[in-house]
Homo-oligomer: A and B are copies of this chain.
Amino acid sequence: MEHSTYQKLMIAAADLLRQKGYAATGISDILAQANVTRGSLYHHFPGGKSDLAVAAARYSCSQLVKHIETACEVARTNGGDFHDAMVELCKRVYQLFEEHGNWRFLTVSATLQEGGERNAFFSNEARALYARLKSKAVEEGATFGLSERDSFMALRKALLLVEGGWMLARVVDDPMPIRSSIQFMEEEKQVYRYRKQLGLSCPPFDTEIDPLF
């Protein structure tokens, strides 16, 4: 067997949680998908469902980090910049979305949204995961000569677009919204270039944001 029981559970949970969200995903669903029995689950994840959800979210997050990495590599070999990498990232999401029945992708948020008692705990976990993404983006952005702020903003925009697109795509059951996130991310690239062409620096926004997720 390729995967250990632990991994099988984690992957199955990640898939299902992304697809249906925390509350809608039953333990039994996960067990069926992973081909594992209850006893094993509570052996590997004593905390039960929430324990498993955290593991799944971390797994999804590290997958995303890898996607960012390879997107940057692709951009680099094509002579592109960090914004190209983010466009590439959106493209990969779209492709994965189309290929794998739809859902085999990231979206930490879908995995950890709950709204009940565990909310504070889950929020902290989510914050930690997004911080991980941020530091990855800053690190990669730096290799493209981007400031911390610029790379963070580019990542954040990509995430907003992808999460939003993914959410819409899920609810209307059509991948098109995700696809359009690619376009919007390309605009980010364009605006960056237009500014250079026009010799402009980044204009002030009405609302400035602080650097934390």
| Chain B residue contacts of A167, Cβ below 8 A | 109-110, 113, 163-164, 167
Within 8 A of B (CB), among A93-120: 94, 108-110, 112-116, 119-120
Stretch from A1-9, A121-129, A139-147 that touches the partner: A121-129
13 CB-based A-B contacts, threshold 8 Å: A24-B114, A109-B168, A112-B171, A126-B172, A157-B180, A159-B168, A160-B177, A167-B167, A177-B213, A190-B191, A191-B194, A194-B198, A197-B198
A79 is an interface residue with CB less than 8 A from chain B: no
Question: How many protomers of this protein does the assembly include?
Answer: 2
- The answer to whether A207 and B194 touch across the interface, beta carbons within 8 angstroms, is no
Cα distance A110–B110 in the bound complex, in angstroms: 11
- The answer to whether B164 and A183 touch across the interface, beta carbons within 8 angstroms, is no
Partner of A130, one of B23, B172, B182: B172
A148 is an interface residue with CB less than 8 A from chain B: no
A156 is an interface residue with CB less than 8 A from chain B: yes
Query: Chain A interface secondary structure, helix, strand, loop or mixed?
Result: helix
Cα distance A20–B117 in the bound complex, in angstroms: 12
Binding site for B on A (CB under 8 A): 19-24, 91, 94, 108-110, 112-116, 119-120, 122-123, 126-127, 130, 153, 156-157, 159-165, 167-168, 170-174, 176-177, 179-184, 186-188, 190-191, 194-195, 197-198, 203, 205-207, 209-210, 212-213
| Chain B residue contacts of A213, Cβ below 8 A | 168, 172, 174, 176-177
Partner of A182, one of B114, B181, B206: B206
Q: A24-B24, A123-B171, A180-B209 are in contact. List 6 more A-B contacts (CB 8 A).
A: A23-B24, A126-B171, A159-B168, A176-B209, A194-B197, A194-B198
CB distance from A100 to the nearest CB of B (A): 16
- The answer to whether B159 and A160 touch across the interface, beta carbons within 8 angstroms, is no
| Chain B residue contacts of A123, Cβ below 8 A | 171-173
CB distance from A184 to the nearest CB of B (A): 5
Cα distance A119–B171 in the bound complex, in angstroms: 8
- The answer to whether B160 and A210 touch across the interface, beta carbons within 8 angstroms, is no
